Amino acid sequence: MKFLSTILTLALAGAKINNSFLGGRTMAAYDCEDGDHIFGSGKYRYDSDGHRMRHMGGNRAMDMETGDIHHVHGWDDEDDD
């Protein structure tokens, strides 16, 4: 349990984590619009409310459920690969 708590703490801090059990590189970004953390890797990720987010480039991401554009921090363009 301590291990999972440490992993979550690092993810919430926006750290890049290399976890083989999660399928490779994972990263957390922050949604400045509603305060959610966005987890996953690649162009599509999920926020802490369970909404699928698509990176639009720069500091923008679209909530695929509502179509709203959100300002995000920590989701770099090179992380979309």
Per-residue model confidence as pLDDT tens digits over 25-76: 556 899 999 999 999 888 999 999 899 999 998 899 999 999 999 999 988 8
Torsion of CA 31, 44, 15, 21, to 10 degrees: 140
For residue 45, what are the β-bridge partners? 53
Whether the model clears a pTM of 0.75, i.e. scores above it, the answer is: no
Q: With contact defined as beta carbons under 8 Å apart, do 73 and 29 qualify? A: yes
CB-CB neighbours of 49 under 10 Å: 13
CA distance linking residue 65 with residue 70, whole number of Å:
12
Q: How many domains does the chain have?
A: 1
Domain that holds residue 61: 2-80
Q: Residue 28: what pLDDT?
A: 83
Could you tell me what percentage of the chain is helix, strand and coil, using 3-state DSSP and rounding each to the nearest 5? 20, 45, 35
